[in-house]
Chain A
């Protein structure tokens, strides 16, 4: 059974029809990527899943439950975490406080401590900077922090919005290696990316989103070989 099912979702910003019937599903254990250009509706799709926006038509189910009944802040408890667009770290909180916020819904201090140690193992840089105000971190470190913070809730499903944005190529490699590692440890991932090249290398399956509609869906290998994808997203003529 799919962990996440999105069915015929239509979403609007005022009168602007941003999603025109998006359907997709993510199975347990997968990395699924959603690629598309700027303004295709990738972020809107994630915002709809995470409850920050309400679809006007269509439904979204997580582990079989319709998400329309939950508010955005009730989803973490059910196992959905998000690394938001532009990282969304709390710049005036310290690194440790940001990570604490990731485990906000939990009150078992000893487990939170263990979780934080696990995040520090994954991102040793964060351990060095735990007392530092997060706004002073570099872009790459902020991305690590946003990812670590999402992991603090031990999510079943991790939604990632453009983790590679604004990072140096070498850091992008590191971040994608870590995404693979997180997935290998049992977290299902829905990865939204403009960097289709990198995303398709680590994903199992992919969807191509164009002006609010899914135009293509296939396994990552098939998408990499697809002529349209090569031309539009991979820069191969």
Chain B
């Protein structure tokens, strides 16, 4: 009797999930069809659609860069580092206040844009790495053997700590990121007008993503990171300093976040003590989407999320007749997160956990 009841319960859950999935798919198809064939909502030119896509790719490559930090740390510690958004913010704000703005007022941003950009970026990366190492040493390392919920909550605490710490340092107002003339305006490639900032963001992200991939797959330190991710005790038996390797993992992720922060400043022209929160959550979504723990997964998840966020609202949300569809891009992002968690927890190219026990 009890067994029969339980079976019925499971069937209801399955039925609900099945309906949920079908409803989402129908809504997306319906919206798309209504938009494309019946012209519901605003009409966009081909150029506008291409622009949406490119904006999405640029935004997505930022997500990808930030997502690397989540994925790397999750890989070695099985912990979601919710303070990662603050590593992103801390480097960016510090570099903006102490390097970018003084350089701008001295006129170096006009005369030496590339050297200045390099200096700004290096400062941001260094500060982010410093904050990450400090957080790891003080807040996470002592809890390495604690149950998994404990470091998770600590991470949320660390996130708040750094937000308000930097709010105290730089104030709660928006600090504008200076305009770099050479990177502003548009450039024509294959007959397409592309914002230069987006081009810079995409190019820099690709270079860093590929660089990181080769660092992890080819270098000795990368090999140690992968070994620690699989089995810390055995890695230690091989002579790997596990604590140091974990710290390096945090540092590498934070360096990527710091660089992404400057690209963010370049693209949106502003920094703020709360700027890490939403990109952080989005990047976490991207990491889960791609398969947390996997570097190509983070890249793919980031790009996918960026594009669907940019193209989704004008395409199927407007097609459904939803007013102000552009403001609902976050809804798309988090609906994606829920869908992935329910239907494909391992992500797009994530591996099954069983493989680890092989």
Cα separation A82 to B358 with both chains bound (whole Å): 20
CB pair B231–A88 under 8 Å, yes or no, is yes
Q: Are B234 and A88 in contact (CB under 8 A)?
A: yes
* A84 CB contact (under 8 Å) in B220, B237, B358: B237
Main secondary structure of the interface of B (DSSP, over half): helix
- Quick check: B239 and A76 within 8 Å, CB to CB? yes
Contact A50 to B358, CB < 8 A, known contacts A73-B242, A93-B226, A104-B220 = no
A76: which B residues are within 8 A, CB to CB?
237-239
The A-B contact count (CB < 8 A) is 77
Residue from A73, A91, A149, A153 in contact with B241 in the complex, judged by beta carbons closer than 8 Å: A73
**Structural contact, B231 and A101, CB atoms closer than 8 A:** no
A29-B236 Cα distance, complex, nearest whole Å: 25
Q: Within 8 Å CB of B233, what residues of A?
A: 52, 72, 84, 88
Among A50, A52, A72, A76, chain B packs the most CB atoms within 10 A around the CB of A72
Which residue of the partner chain, among B226, B230, B239, contacts A104 with CB atoms under 8 Å?
A: B239
Task: Count residues of B near A (Cβ-Cβ below 8 Å).
Answer: 21
- Cβ distance A104 to chain B, nearest Cβ, rounded Å: 5
Judged by a CB distance under 8 angstroms, whether B240 is at the interface is yes
In angstroms, how far is the closest chain B Cβ from the Cβ of A181?
Answer: 22
Task: Check B239–A97 contact: CB distance below 8 A.
Answer: no
Q: Mark A102-129, 1 if CB is under 8 A from B, else 0.
A: 1011000000000000000000000000
Interface residues of B in 222-261 (CB under 8 A from A): 223-224, 226-227, 230-231, 233-242
Measured between C-beta atoms, what is the minimum distance from A131 to chain B in Å?
13
By a CB distance below 8 angstroms, the chain A residues around B240 are: 73, 101, 104
Chain A, residues 53-93, CB within 8 Å of chain B (1/0): the string is 00000000000000000011111110001101000101111
- A135 sits at the interface (CB 8 A): yes
Contact A101 B223 (CB under 8 A): yes
Residues from chain A with Cβ under 8 Å of B237 in the complex: 50, 52, 72-73, 75-76, 81-82, 84, 88
Residues of A within 8 A of B (CB): 50-52, 71-77, 81-82, 84, 88, 90-93, 97, 100-102, 104-105, 135-136, 149, 153
- Chain B residues engaging chain A, CB cutoff 8 angstroms: 220, 223-224, 226-227, 230-231, 233-242, 355-358
Cross-chain pairs A/B with CB under 8 angstroms, 21 sampled? A50-B237, A51-B236, A72-B233, A72-B236, A73-B238, A73-B240, A73-B241, A74-B239, A76-B237, A81-B237, A88-B231, A88-B234, A88-B237, A91-B355, A101-B223, A101-B227, A101-B238, A101-B240, A135-B355, A136-B358, A153-B239
